[in-house]
C-alpha cells in the first residue's frame, strides 16, 4: 500500500504540479498575493467559471516558471458554514480534477475559515486520499489516473504536519478496507479474509485464525450454523495489539461482522442488488484495518479484535427457520429468519472477545436495512449500554468524520425477541424498530462491562456516489477513522 507523503512549507516554496486555493461561495475570488494571478482569477470569476459552491472546481493553467503550472480553485460553500466535511469534499474534487496529472499538490490553508489549521490540514489529506480512490482494480485495461503522491500544506502550524501525516496513514488503511469490501466473493471467502489479516502480523500485532472445527469445539453454535451451508467454512479471526507501554487498564475489544457473501440463507434475499452483498463484511474489514492503523501509529492502548467471517448460503446443510441454536455463552436462539444472520455471528464473537479480556466492547456491522432507511448513507446508528462509553464513541465519530447518531435501548424492547421455545429469537415478525431489536438481541451476548453497537448498513457500502468525498459506489472503509480516533482518545 502506498502512502501519500505530506510536508508543511511556506507559501511559494517549491514547484508543485498544482496549487489549490479554496473559494467560499459568498466571495468572488480567492485571496492571493500575486497580482497577475489575482487578475486572471478575477477574469475567470467575471466569466462565471469560478464557483464557490461546495464540490465545484476550476483549473487555471499558468505559464511555465518557478511556480506551479496549475492552480485549482475549489469551492467550499458559505464561509460561515465550512466544516471538516466541506474541506474533505473540496480536496476530493481537486484530487479528481488532477486525476490525469497526479504528482505534488500544494494546498493553501485559509486562516479565516472557521476551522483551525490542524483541522484543515487533516481534512485536506483525508479528502485527497479518500476522494482519489478507485474501485476499478479488476478492470483488464490499465487505469490512466495518476495518484497524488505528495501534499504540501501552505500555512499549517508546526503541529499540523504530524496531524496530516497521521491522516495520510489512516487514509491508506481506510482504502485498504475499501478494497476488501469491494472484492468479489469468489476472491474473498472467509479463509481469504483470514489470510489478508494474517499478512498484517508484526512485532506488536499478533494474528490467529480459528477454523470450523475449532469454532465448533468452543461451542459457537451460532457462527457455526451460519457458515455451514457453504463449502467455504467460517473463520474466527483474532488480532491482538500489545503496545510497548500501554496506558491504563482498558482493553479495547473490536468485533466485526464479516459475512463475505450473504444470500440470506433459506430466507433468500431478492435477486435485485444481491451482488452488493459482497459488502456485508465491511464491518469486519473496518475493525481489521482500524487495528492495523493503530498498530502502525503505535498508539499506547491495548486492542483485541475479533472478526466472525462466514458465507450465508443455501444448501442441504443450511440452518433453517425453526432451528434452535446454542450460542457460546449458553443461551439458546430460535431461528425465525436465516437472513438475520449478522447478529448470530456477532453473538459468538462478542463472547470470545470478553473471554479473552476485552473491557470495553465496540461491534461494527452492516446489520439492518432499516437503519439505512432511517439515516441514509451518511450516518450510522449506535446503541450502547453505558452512557460514558457512548459519549466517548460519539466524540470520536464527530472528530473523525465517520458520522454516528445515538439510538435508544430500553428493556421493554426485549419482549419483541422473546421466544416461546428458546431463550430468545433472532428476529421479529413485527415491522417495527428492527435496528433496536437487533441491538437488544446483541445485548444478551455483550457480557459484563461497557458495550456499544454500530449499525453502519448505510455508510458502510454505498449504492451510489454520496456527493461529497465519497464519489464511488461500494465500500467506504467506514469505521477505520473512528476506531483510530477512539484509540487515540483512550490513550491520551
| Residues labelled as active-site residues | 269, 343
* DSSP secondary structure letters along 202-233: BTTEEEEEE-HHHHHHTT-HHHHHHHTTSSS-
User: Taking a C-beta distance cutoff of 8 angstroms, is the pair 223, 345 a contact?
Assistant: yes
Closest CA to 213 of 190, 246, 230, 236: 236
Record the cell numbers describing residue 444, joined without a space.
444478551
User: Taking a C-beta distance cutoff of 8 angstroms, is the pair 478, 377 a contact?
Assistant: no
Residue keyed to cell 475570488: 29
Alpha-carbon torsion, ordered 397, 399, 402, 404, to 10 deg: 40
Record the cell numbers describing residue 360, joined without a space.
470495553
**What SS3 state is found at 415?**
helix
Element (H, E) at 167: helix 158-182
Closest CA to 400 of 152, 157, 126, 156: 126
Sequence-separated (6 or more) residues with CB below 8 Å from residue 123: 84, 85, 87, 88, 91, 115, 401
CA distance 82 to 120: 10
Amino acid at each position: 500500500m502506498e502512502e501519500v507523503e505530506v510536508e508543511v512549507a511556506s507559501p511559494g516554496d517549491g514547484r508543485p504540479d498544482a496549487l489549490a486555493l479554496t473559494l467560499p461561495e459568498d466571495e468572488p475570488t480567492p485571496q492571493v498575493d500575486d497580482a497577475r494571478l489575482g487578475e486572471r482569477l478575477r477574469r475567470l470569476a467575471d466569466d462565471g467559471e469560478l464557483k464557490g459552491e461546495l464540490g465545484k472546481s476550476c483549473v487555471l493553467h499558468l505559464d511555465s516558471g518557478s511556480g506551479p503550472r496549475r492552480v485549482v480553485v475549489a469551492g467550499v460553500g458559505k464561509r460561515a458554514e465550512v466544516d471538516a466535511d466541506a474541506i474533505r469534499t473540496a480536496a476530493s474534487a481537486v484530487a479528481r480534477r488532477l486525476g490525469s496529472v497526479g504528482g505534488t499538490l500544494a494546498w493553501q490553508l485559509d486562516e479565516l475559515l472557521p476551522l483551525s489549521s490542524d483541522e484543515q490540514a487533516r481534512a485536506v489529506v483525508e479528502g485527497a486520499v479518500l476522494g482519489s480512490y478507485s474501485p476499478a482494480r479488476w478492470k483488464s485495461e490499465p487505469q490512466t489516473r495518476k495518484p497524488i503522491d505528495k501534499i504540501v500544506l501552505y500555512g499549517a502550524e508546526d503541529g499540523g504536519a504530524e496531524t496530516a501525516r497521521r491522516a495520510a496513514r489512516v487514509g491508506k488503511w481506510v482504502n485498504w478496507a475499501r478494497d476488501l469490501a469491494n472484492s468479489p466473493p469468489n476472491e474473498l471467502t472467509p479463509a481469504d479474509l483470514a489470510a489478508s489479516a494474517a499478512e498484517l502480523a508484526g512485532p506488536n500485532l499478533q494474528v490467529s485464525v480459528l477454523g470450523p472445527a475449532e469454532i465448533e469445539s468452543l461451542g459457537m453454535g451460532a457462527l457455526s450454523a451460519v457458515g455451514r451451508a457453504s463449502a467455504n467454512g467460517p473463520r474466527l479471526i483474532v488480532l491482538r495489539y500489545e503496545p510497548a507501554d500501554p496506558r491504563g487498564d482498558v482493553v479495547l475489544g473490536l468485533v466485526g461482522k464479516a459475512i463475505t457473501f450473504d444470500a440470506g440463507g433459506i430466507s433468500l434475499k431478492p435477486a435485485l442488488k444481491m451482488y452488493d452483498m459482497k459488502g456485508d463484511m465491511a464491518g469486519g474489514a473496518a475493525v481489521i484495518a482500524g487495528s492495523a492503523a493503530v498498530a502502525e501509529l503505535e498508539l499506547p492502548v491495548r486492542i483485541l479484535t475479533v472478526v466472525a467471517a462466514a458465507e450465508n448460503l443455501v444448501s442441504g446443510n443450511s440452518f433453517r427457520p425453526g432451528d434452535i441454536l446454542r450460542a457460546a455463552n449458553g443461551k439458546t436462539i430460535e431461528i425465525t429468519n436465516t437472513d438475520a444472520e449478522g447478529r448470530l455471528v456477532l453473538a459468538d464473537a462478542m463472547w470470545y472477545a470478553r473471554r479473552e479480556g476485552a473491557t470495553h466492547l465496540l461491534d461494527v456491522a452492516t446489520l439492518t436495512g432499516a437503519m439505512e432507511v432511517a439515516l441514509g448513507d451518511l450516518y450510522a446508528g449506535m446503541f450502547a449500554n453505558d452512557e460514558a462509553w457512548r459519549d466517548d464513541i460519539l466524540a470520536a465519530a464527530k472528530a473523525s468524520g465517520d458520522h454516528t447518531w445515538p439510538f435508544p435501548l430500553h428493556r421493554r424492547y426485549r419482549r419483541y425477541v422473546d421466544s416461546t421455545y428458546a431463550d430468545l429469537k433472532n428476529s421479529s415478525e413485527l415491522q417495527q424498530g428492527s435496528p433496536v431489536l437487533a441491538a437488544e438481541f446483541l445485548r444478551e451476548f455483550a457480557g459484563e462491562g461497557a458495550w456499544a453497537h454500530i449499525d453502519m448498513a448505510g455508510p458502510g457500502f454505498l449504492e451510489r456516489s454520496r456527493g461529497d468525498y465519497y464519489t464511488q459506489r461500494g465500500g467506504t472503509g467506514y469505521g477505520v477513522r473512528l476506531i483510530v480516533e477512539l484509540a487515540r482518545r483512550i490513550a491520551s
